[in-house]
């Protein structure tokens, strides 16, 4: 199936943020590839529910380069193009910053392999398709980061470090891949996903109070900035776009 409309791939596409991004891009006329690792059923339901046509769920295991190469081959065969890559796959676990033993080697390796190497590996696998994008202004890569990269406050020390690495990588790759491919980071504050809503209400309320704009980010807030970066900010690359309600001000 050759696609005459632009094609967007979202790794971690079945999660709360990824799903919102998929709906926004589909509504803007993109054929959306909902990339998944273990959430095949959820990804397939999402792909079937998106507006427009041409959407599909495909395996996108970001820690497995062989699997990512298979994804690239499947996209090339199905669409013959890739115009947008959103690196949304990520992992973390709450570990107090002073609990150095709690942040064990296995968790450190998993966070870095998924959040940092995974974003790089997905781009590496899809780069030939991105560089050949016929979309005016070239292809776009959006890395989903976090204000933890700036504030060094987050679910654990290594998560913060991983997002700082993502932002640095965004700048390096933007320079290396211009002008054919733009690369930006979208950096949310605490996002009010179903997971966050399941946490202690008192803690969640405290985080809301600490946000100058008086609420947490929604998945749709993140999706709106992703779509804006892709569609409207055509002279923007190598930067970090915050979606945080002013949280770093506190």
Residue tagged active-site, from 30, 36, 79, 159: 159
Instruction: Please indicate whether residue 79 is annotated as part of the active site.
Output: no
DSSP the chain: ---SS-EEEEETTTSHHHHHHHHHHHHTT-EEEEEESS-HHHHHHHHHHSSSS--EEEE--TT-HHHHHHHHHHHHHHHS---EEEE---------TT-TTTS-HHHHHHHIIIIIIHHHHHHHHHHHHHHT--STT-EEEEEE--THHHH--SS-HHHHHHHHHHHHHHHHHHHHHTTTEEEEEEEESSB--HHHHTS-HHHHHHHHHTSTTSSPBPHHHHHHHHHHHHHT-TT--S-EEEESTTGGG-
Please list the active-site residues.
159
């Amino acid at each position: 199936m050759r696609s005459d409309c632009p094609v967007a791939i979202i790794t971690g596409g079945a999660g709360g943020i990824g799903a919102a991004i998929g709906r926004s891009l589909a509504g803007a006329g993109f054929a959306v590839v909902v990339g998944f690792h273990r959430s095949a059923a959820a990804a397939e339901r999402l792909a079937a529910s998106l507006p427009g046509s041409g959407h599909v769920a495909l395996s996108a295991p970001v820690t497995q380069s062989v699997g990512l190469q298979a994804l690239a081959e499947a996209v090339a065969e199905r669409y013959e193009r890739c115009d947008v890559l959103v690196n949304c796959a990520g992992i973390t676990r709450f570990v107090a910053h002073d609990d150095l033993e709690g942040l064990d080697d296995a968790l450190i390796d998993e966070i870095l392999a998924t959040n940092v190497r995974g974003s790089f590996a997905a781009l590496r696998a899809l780069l030939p398709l991105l560089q050949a994008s016929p979309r005016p202004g070239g292809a776009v890569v959006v890395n989903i980061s976090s204000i933890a990269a700036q504030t060094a406050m987050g679910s654990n020390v290594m998560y913060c470090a991983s997002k700082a690495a993502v932002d640095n990588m965004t700048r390096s790759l933007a320079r290396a891949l211009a002008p054919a491919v733009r690369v930006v980071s979208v950096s949310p504050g605490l996002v009010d996903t179903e997971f966050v809503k399941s946490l202690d209400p008192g803690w969640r309320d405290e985080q809301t109070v600490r946000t100058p704009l008086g609420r947490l980010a929604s998945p749709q807030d993140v999706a709106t900035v992703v779509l804006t970066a892709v569609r409207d900010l055509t002279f923007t690359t190598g930067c970090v776009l915050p979606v945080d309600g002013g949280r770093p001000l506190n």
